[in-house]
């Protein structure tokens, strides 16, 4: 299948009074048509900044390098005007906290209309009809009445549906989802995840799904990329990574999640805490917490290698990790 | 396991909404959020009882009522046979010491202006646990117990990560040598790898100190991992309670079954496109008549809209509040 998005050596730095922080470090991945890619990591791993870097949705203290090739053009080299056409148009984004992402003083209908006006050539009447269609599409009942309502009149799950309706207004080819279900209850999360899967099928778009929940990844994504301290440490299909993790961090994450049959026994935890951006260890950033670390890990940064077809890993001891086996089998 | 330490019967708690002058003049009925609607259960010595449910189901209110941070509207909580509402003076203080709570947010539950030493000294001296000269040694012991480095004592909460702060919260609760720990969403603010560390610590401490734990959480996987028994709450009521294995393997309430089906599994081969539960939680201000789950239940029939089901026995120690019985263990679950 053809790649719709190709990210090569993407690096994002923030210049702060105390020096430059590298939030995204030399990240490369590609995304195919209709594919859902899960970007997994703990807080501070750089997964959200990576997502925002793709459409240059960053504060002014950020500087970027590398390439983000979208339909043959490098987004990082586009003029501000060209970026605005892509961002919110061909590439849409939904956010974690619908309460803060929606404008509290504007009715939902107007917020959908804003996006339609910016990215389509529809007339006023057509836009109104399209807004109703979008509300139906994302499963908000009584669309006509609810278009006039304000965000505070919507429940958490309905707000997230409304945000998805806004994102879909421009017929995007790629949806960027930044922890869209983290703030929701489990039965509502289930509804939203299935909605995203249905929309992917109906609208034939690709999705990049940022989350910290491995269960969500297992239930929705086609491929996954695991991030640690600003780098992608492992990429592969869901089945491969869950069955044969090759990076010690991935293996530790999988083992940290409680699972059936091991009740009240100690979980396979990862000692220590993820490093801050200002104090990323030398060599492999994970070595202070790693059970497999050897001398080489302390001095040299492992390069990403394709160990199996479609399964890339950046670990000096990937074969030892592979041999140790997956904790979820 | 038969030794009952806490028994709760018919607990009710509601929080009145503001009822202003204009509301009164215009004759509006005062409204209230019904957080607990007739909750009864028992807690046995040495066990972990998991309380699970979605936001707004009343699980945190239940935890707070147990440690008397909220006063009940109705119902009684008995601790070793005495009604805790009747306790006063030294007896109340003794109850406060023996039943300790650990809070959800490690960022707001510790005073930012107090060092760890001051936090722990306060707990130790309020309940006169140790003479002043022995306090430093006890602090060292507590830090060791929750696996924090010894130099932590003279640092402030902001110098610690979320997981370490939660350890400080645990140390503070353990300082007064409680018998019962009420843990409200103990690890939900933490990263996955750090969650596992704190869960392991809790399991280890429970065994070493012979603690009874009430573990309140929204994460089913976690509750299943930690608990001996589990109670599922919905709109301020326990809809199902039973031994962990029985409840997860053969759940007898449609809401429990929906929760289980909705929780994403770690096994990519067990995917399903079926939606686990339609609709959303009804407002706790106007809970539905009849069964509380009737607005979302796929099996609801006439009786469910007229009569609220009570908890009835389904197997040994396993109760569910549903008019229907005999759910097929394989049916509808992934």
Within a domain: A196: no
Tell me, yes or no, if B224 comes closer than 8 A to chain A by beta carbon: yes
Pick from A95, A101, A71: which is nearest to A4 by CA? Answer: A71
A304 is a domain residue: yes
State whether B196 and A186 contact (CB < 8 Å).
no
Would you call B196 and A255 a contact, using CB atoms and an 8 Å cutoff? yes
Paired tokens of A305: 């290698």
- Provide φ and ψ at A165, rounded to 5°: -60, -40
Q: How big is the A-B interface in CB pairs under 8 Å?
A: 133
Query: Tell me, what's the pLDDT at A307?
Result: 93
Residue A260 in domain = yes
Residue A280 domain-assigned (yes or no): yes
Give residues 269 to 328 of B whose Cβ lies within 8 Å of A. 269, 271, 273, 275-278, 280-281
B282-310 pLDDT, tens digit each: 988 999 999 999 999 999 999 999 999 99
Indicate if the pLDDT at residue B1 is higher than 60.
no
**CA torsion angle for B294, B296, B302, B307 (degrees, to 10)?**
-10
Which pLDDT belongs to residue B2?
A: 62
Cα A78 → chain centroid = 22
Q: Which of A181-185, B45-49, B213-217 has the lowest mean pLDDT?
A: A181-185
> pLDDT tens, A162-214?
999 999 999 999 999 999 998 889 999 999 999 999 999 999 999 999 999 99
Using the Cβ of B155 and the Cβ atoms of chain A, whether some distance falls under 8 Å is answered with no
Give Dmax (Cα) for chain A: 68
Spatial distance between the Cα atoms of B292 and B287, rounded to a whole number of angstroms: 7
B residues 228..267 contacting A (CB < 8 A) = 228, 244-245, 248, 258-259, 261-267
CB contact under 8 A, A190 and B194: no
Cβ pair A58, A83 in contact under 8 A: no
C-alpha dihedral, B317 to B321 to B323 to B329, nearest 10°: -60
Contact residues on chain A for B281, CB-CB shorter than 8 A:
185
How confident is the model over B266-286, as pLDDT tens digits? 888 888 889 998 888 898 899
Q: From chain B, pick out residues whose CB is under 8 angstroms from the CB of A266.
A: 200, 203-204
Per-residue pLDDT of B52-100, as tens digits, reads: 999 889 999 999 999 999 999 999 999 999 999 999 999 999 999 999 9
Return the structure tokens found at B273: 């496109």
Nearest CA distance, B119 vs chain A (angstrom): 23
Does residue A270 fall inside a structural domain?
A: yes
Residue B332 has pLDDT above 50, yes or no: no
Predicted confidence (pLDDT) per residue in B180-207, tens digit: 999 999 998 888 888 999 999 999 999 9
Residue A15 has, within 13 A of its CA and on its CB side, a CA count of 5
Kindly list the residues from chain B whose CB atom is less than 8 angstroms away from the CB atom of residue A252: 193
Alpha helices in A221-276 (DSSP H): 238-243, 248-256
Find the angle CA(A185)-CA(B324)-CA(B302) to the nearest 5 degrees: 90
Flag whether residue B29 sits within 8 Å of chain A, measured between CB atoms.
no
pLDDT at A123: 96
Residue A142 lies inside a defined structural domain of this protein? no
Q: Identify the H or E element spanning B138.
A: helix B135-145
pLDDT at B331: 54
Give the E-state strand segments of chain B in sequence order. 4-16, 32-44, 48-52, 74-79, 82-83, 99-102, 180-184, 212-217, 229-234, 237-243, 312-315, 318-320
Residue B195 has which token pair?
């969650």
- 3-class secondary structure, A264: coil
B334 pLDDT more than 60: no
Which residues in chain A have Cβ-Cβ distances shorter than 8 Å to B58?
Answer: none
Paired strand residues for B243: B229
Between chains, do B197 and A271 touch, taking CB under 8 Å as contact? yes
Q: What is the pLDDT of residue A183?
A: 84
Round to whole Å and give the CA distance between B80 and B95. Answer: 10
Mutation test of the interface with chain B: which of A47, A187, A214, A245, choosing the one with the most B Cβ atoms within 10 A? A187
pLDDT beneath 50, residues of chain A: none
Interface check for B331 against chain A (CB to CB < 8 A): the answer is: no
Hey, is the C-beta of B71 within 8 angstroms of any chain A C-beta? Answer: no
B208 in contact with A at a CB cutoff of 8 Å? no
Angle, in degrees to the nearest 10, between helices B162-175 and B116-126: 20
Q: Identify the closest residue of chain B to A249 by CA–CA distance.
A: B193
Q: Name chain A contacts of B164, Cβ cutoff 8 Å.
A: 273
Count Cβ atoms below 10 Å from residue A305 Cβ, excluding itself: 12
Helix ranges restricted to H, chain A: 47-54, 80-86, 98-101, 108-119, 124-137, 143-146, 156-168, 186-203, 214-220, 238-243, 248-256, 295-299, 318-324
Q: Find residues 90-149 of chain B whose CB sits inside 8 Å of chain A.
A: none
Pairing outcome for strands A91-94 and B32-44 = unpaired
Give A80→chain B minimum CA distance, Å: 36
CB contact under 8 A, A273 and B276: no
Owning domain of residue A260: 245-324
Q: In what order do the strands lie in the sheet with B99-102?
A: B99-102, B180-184, B212-217, B48-52, B229-234, B237-243, B318-320, B312-315
As separate numbers, helices (DSSP H) first and strands (DSSP E) second, chain B gives 11, 12
Q: What is the CA radius of gyration of chain B?
A: 21
Distance, CA of A166 to CA of B166 (rounded, Å): 39
Collapsing DSSP states into helix, strand and coil, what is residue A14? Answer: strand
Min Cα–Cα distance to chain B from A109, Å: 22
Q: What pLDDT was estimated at residue A168? A: 94
Q: Per-residue DSSP letters for B192-238?
A: HHHHHHHHHHHHHHHHHHT-EEEEEES-HHHHHHH-SEEEEEETTEE
Mutate to test the interface with B, among A267, A276, A285, A328 (most CBs of B within 10 A): A267
What percent of chain B shows pLDDT beyond 70?
A: 97
Residue predicted with more confidence, B268 or B213: B213
Q: Which residue of B has its CA nearest to A238?
A: B268
- Give the pLDDT score at B328: 67
**Alpha carbon separation from A117 to A93, A134, A145, A147, B200 (Å, rounded):** 17, 14, 21, 16, 54
What is the β-pairing status of strands A62-70 and A231-237? unpaired
Is the Cβ pair A260, B192 closer than 8 Å? no
Phi, psi of B233 (to 5 degrees): -110, 145
The dihedral region occupied by A12, where left means phi > 0, alpha psi between -120 and 50, and beta the remainder, is beta
> Within a 13 Å sphere around the CA of A310, how many CA atoms are in the beta-carbon half?
12
Q: Is residue A282 part of a domain?
A: yes
Which of B268, B271, B277 shows the shortest C-beta gap to A187? B277
Contact B200 A266 (CB under 8 A): yes
**What gap in Å lies between CA A38 and CA A170, rounded to an integer?**
23
What whole-number distance in Å separates Cα of residue B287 and Cα of residue B14? Answer: 12
Measured between beta carbons, the chain B residues lying within 8 angstroms of A190 are 261-264, 275-277
Distance from A124 to chain B by nearest Cα, in Å?
32
| ipTM (interface predicted TM) | 0.89
In a domain? residue A20: no
B31 inside 8 A of chain A by CB? no
Whether B222 and A186 lie within 8 Å, measured CB to CB? no
Residues in contact with B124: Cβ distance below 8 Å, sequence separation at least 6, in sequence order: B130, B135, B138, B139, B175, B176
Looking at the complex, report in whole angstroms how far the Cα of residue A116 sits from the nearest Cα belonging to chain B.
28
Closest to B275 (Cβ–Cβ): which among A155, A191, A256? A191
Total number of domains constituting chain A:
1
Query: Which chain A residues are closer than 8 Å to B193 by Cβ?
Result: 42, 252-253, 256, 269-270, 274
Q: How confident is the model at residue B333 (pLDDT cuts 50, 70, 90)?
A: very low
With CB atoms and an 8 Å threshold, state whether A218 touches B266: yes
Q: Reduce the DSSP state of residue B315 to 3 states and report it.
A: strand
């Amino acid at each position: 299948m053809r790649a719709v998005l190709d990210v090569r050596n993407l690096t994002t730095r923030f210049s702060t009074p105390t020096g430059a922080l590298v939030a995204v470090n030399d990240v490369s991945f590609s995304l195919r048509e209709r594919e859902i890619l899960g970007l997994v990591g703990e807080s501070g791993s750089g997964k959200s900044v990576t997502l925002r870097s793709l459409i240059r949705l960053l504060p002014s203290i950020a500087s970027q390098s590398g390439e983000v090739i979208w339909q043959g053009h490098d987004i990082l080299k586009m003029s501000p005007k060209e970026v605005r056409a892509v961002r919110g148009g061909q590439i849409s984004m939904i956010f974690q906290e619908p309460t803060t992402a929606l404008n509290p003083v504007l009715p939902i209908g107007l917020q959908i209309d804003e996006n339609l006006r910016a990215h389509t050539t529809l007339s006023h009447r057509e836009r109104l009809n399209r807004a109703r269609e979008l509300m139906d599409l994302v499963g908000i009942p009584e669309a006509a009445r609810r278009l006039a309502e304000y965000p505070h009149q919507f429940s958490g799950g309905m707000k997230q549906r409304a945000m998805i309706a806004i994102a879909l207004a421009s017929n995007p080819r790629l949806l960027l989802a930044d922890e869209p279900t983290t703030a929701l209850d489990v039965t509502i999360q289930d509804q939203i995840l299935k909605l995203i899967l249905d929309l992917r099928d109906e609208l034939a778009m690709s999705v990049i799904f940022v989350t910290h929940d491995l269960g969500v990844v297992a239930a929705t994504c086609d491929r996954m990329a695991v991030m640690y301290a600003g780098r992608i440490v492992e990429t592969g299909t869901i089945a491969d990574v869950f069955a044969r993790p090759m990076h010690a961090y991935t293996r530790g994450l999988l083992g940290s999640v409680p699972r059936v049959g091991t009740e009240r026994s100690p979980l396979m935890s990862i000692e220590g805490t993820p490093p801050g951006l200002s104090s990323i260890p030398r060599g492999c950033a994970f070595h202070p917490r790693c059970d497999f670390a050897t001398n080489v890990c302390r001095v040299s940064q492992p390069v990403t290698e394709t160990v199996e077809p479609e399964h890339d890993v950046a670990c000096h001891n990937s074969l030892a990790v592979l041999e140790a086996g997956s904790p979820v089998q | 396991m038969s030794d009952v330490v806490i028994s709760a019967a018919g607990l009710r708690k509601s929080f009145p909404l503001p009822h202003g002058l204009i509301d009164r003049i215009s004759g509006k009925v005062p409204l209230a959020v019904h957080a607990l609607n007739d909750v009864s259960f028992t807690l046995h010595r040495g066990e972990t009882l998991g309380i699970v449910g979605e936001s707004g189901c009343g699980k945190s209110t239940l935890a707070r009522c147990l440690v008397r941070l909220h006063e009940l509207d109705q119902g009684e909580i008995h601790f070793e046979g005495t009604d805790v509402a009747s306790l006063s003076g030294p007896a109340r203080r003794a109850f406060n010491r023996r039943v300790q709570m650990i809070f959800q947010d490690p960022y707001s539950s510790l005073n930012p202006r107090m060092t760890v030493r001051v936090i722990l000294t306060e707990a130790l001296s309020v309940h006169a646990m140790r003479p002043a000269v022995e306090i430093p040694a006890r602090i060292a012991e507590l830090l060791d117990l929750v696996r924090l480095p010894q130099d932590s004592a003279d640092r402030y909460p902001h110098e610690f990560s979320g997981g370490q702060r939660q350890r400080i919260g645990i140390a503070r609760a353990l300082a007064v040598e409680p018998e019962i720990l009420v843990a409200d969403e103990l690890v939900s603010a933490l990263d996955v790898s750090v969650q596992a560390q704190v869960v392991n610590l809790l399991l280890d401490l429970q065994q070493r100190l012979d603690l009874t734990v009430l573990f309140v959480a929204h994460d089913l996987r976690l509750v299943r991992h930690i608990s001996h028994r589990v109670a599922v709450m919905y709109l301020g009521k326990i809809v199902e309670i039973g031994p962990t294995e029985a409840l997860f393997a053969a759940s007898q309430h449609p809401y429990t079954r929906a929760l289980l089906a909705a929780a994403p599994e770690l096994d990519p081969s067990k995917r399903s496109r079926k939606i686990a539960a339609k609709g959303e939680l009804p407002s706790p201000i106007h809970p539905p008549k009849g069964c509380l789950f009737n607005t979302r239940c796929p099996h609801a029939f006439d009786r469910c809209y007229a009569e609220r089901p009570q908890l009835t026995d389904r197997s040994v120690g396993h109760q569910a509040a549903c008019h229907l019985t005999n759910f097929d263990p394989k049916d509808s679950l992934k």
